[in-house]
Amino acid sequence: MSRQTNRKIQYLAGLCVSANFMFTGATISWPSPAIPKFQSGEANVQITEAQISWVASLFAVGAIPGCFCGHALVERAGRRAAMLYGCLPGIIGAGIILFTKSPELMYFSRIISGISLGITAVVTMIYITEIADKEIRGALGMSVQVTNNLGSLIIYTIGPFVSYNILNGMVFAIPVANLLCCLWIPESPYYHMKDGRIAAARKVFMKLKGTDNVKWVDEQLGVIRVHVRESMENKTTLWELLSNMKYRKALYIVAGLKMLQYMTGGMAIQAYLEVIFRQSSSISGPLVSIIYGFVQLITGVGGAILAGYFGRRILMFVSSLGVAVSLTALGLYFYLQDTVKLSPDVLSALSFLPLIGLFGFNLFYSVGIGMLPYVMQAELFPINVKTAASSSATIMACVMNFAITKCYHGIRAGLGHSAVFWSFASIGYLGIFFIYFFVPETKDKTLEEVQDNMKELDQEATALKDIQDY
């Protein structure tokens, strides 16, 4: 396929929809510079520590109804329309927090902004995997991590040094820009094919592939049409996804990857980054946050490049190992500081440890488990249940994200930072074994080839079970 196509439209469309994650990164990272402004009185907001923890975490709660909205929009209105509609809650939520001083209204605005995240998380990776050639699907999927990191970097770099109102204005501008960027993107040919619009699918397929070779296009669409028809012979409901044994292996794999992605604490660390640095390092919290944001962006770009050369499994395996070791080092420093209570001089000599731990976590998380689980959840399921699977996986992620972010403050206060980071590290170590034994490789396979491979794995598992039963 690579010799037949001009991928310019694929790259542009993929980058435009990926840019929606800039708002996700900015909104998740917003508490990092906002919390010190609350605590110093600069924001002129009367808010307690308990209320701050709710403001930081409710973003994930809003993403849950956003997943249901995204599911309905993707199936009924299409991938393109869902992307555009997904920008609107973000604009509304960011607009509310721009003008309010009430913690209760902040709760509401964060929930509304979270709806935008839910819709974006459901539709973005489905769209990218459906429009991109197999050779660039992984790299384009990883570009979501780059734009997410860019949104975080903007907040980390500028947020601590501007007023609270300007900080909120920056966040508000991002979904407005995203909406304008996505106005031109073409619809996915798979969506047209699913509903039997062959001519529309052919037109958009030719545009995405940059070719006028009708014979070649019809050959490719013929392969897609067969797989879409086979998939659509089954139901498209959530119950079909959960009850049909043919999807069970993919469900286990995606559920395990989402636990690895979120239970290692990435979102909590982003939200409380400046606070963590202030408690663990003599270096300025805002300064290290800026460096952290730059490293995050660079490693995200590196991850997108590496995804074009290495398989999903090896990247996630190395990523999980690196994350686990980095979090172990971070927990060790806090154990020495809070439990062993080493002298300030000794701790000063060990000040490199939390920096290495946090930056190591940043680097390894960005090149693998930070984004590739999103890519795989869109690859492993056939088109009839792809939206249900994506929305279900995102809901699961949102619940875990909320639990981790909300409980972070309480666990840290009760058991100390070391318990928090060692708990995150334990998930990373378990993830190493999970990836090695259960996660298949999808690099350089078309979506149709991935589905054929999953069928073979299911058949092998069924045959093995029959032998064992016999």
Encode pLDDT of 343-357 as tens digits. Answer: 777 777 777 787 788
pLDDT of residue 2: 45
pLDDT at 175: 93
For the whole model, what pTM was predicted?
A: 0.74
Residue 213 lies in a domain: no
Structure confidence at residue 110 (pLDDT): 92
pLDDT bucket at 145, cuts 50 / 70 / 90: confident
- In angstroms, the Cα distances linking 230 to 72, 198, 217, 242, 454 are 22, 16, 20, 19, 14
Angle at which helices 103-131 and 8-18 cross, to 10°: 160
pLDDT of 379 over the 90 cut? no
Are 208 and 7 in contact by the 8 Å Cβ rule? The answer is no
Q: Is residue 57 part of a domain?
A: yes
209 falls within a domain = no
The count of structural domains within the chain is: 1
Mean pLDDT of 238-264: 84
CATH code where residue 359 lies: 1.20.1250.20
Q: Is 416 part of any domain?
A: yes
* Exposure b/e, 81-120, CB count within 10 A at least 16 = b: bbbbbbbebbbbbbbbbbeeeebeebbbbbbbbbbbbbbb
pLDDT of 149: 82
**Exposure on the CB side of residue 314, measured as CA atoms within 13 A:** 8
Residue 4: per-residue pLDDT = 54
For residues 245-255, average pLDDT: 85
User: How far is it, in rounded angstroms, from Cα 359 to Cα 276?
Assistant: 12
Q: Confirm whether 339 is domain-assigned.
A: yes
Classify residue 227: in a domain, yes or no: no
Mean pLDDT of 58-62: 82
Instruction: Tell me how far apart the alpha carbons of residues 94 and 80 are, in angstroms, rounded to a whole number.
Output: 22
* Domain enclosing residue 308, as ranges: 8-185+234-469
> And the tokens for 398?
């949102």
- Kindly state whether residue 260 falls inside one of the protein's structural domains: yes
b/e for 267-296, b at 16 or more Cβ within 10 A?
bbbbbbbbbbbbebbeeebbebbbbbbebb
Kindly write down the DSSP assignment for every residue of 405-437, as one continuous string. HHHHHHHHHHH-HHHHHHHHHHHHHHHHHHHHH
Residue 215 is assigned to a structural domain of this protein: no
Helix%, strand%, coil% for the chain, nearest 5: 85, 0, 15
Task: Report the length, in residues, of the chain.
Answer: 470
Q: Is the dihedral of CA 308, 313, 318, 319 positive or negative?
A: positive
Confidence of residue 306 (pLDDT cuts 50, 70, 90): confident
Confidence of residue 409 (pLDDT cuts 50, 70, 90): low
Question: For residues 229 and 155, which has the higher predicted lDDT (pLDDT)?
Answer: 155
Mean pLDDT of 21-45: 87
pLDDT grade for 400, boundaries at 50, 70 and 90: confident
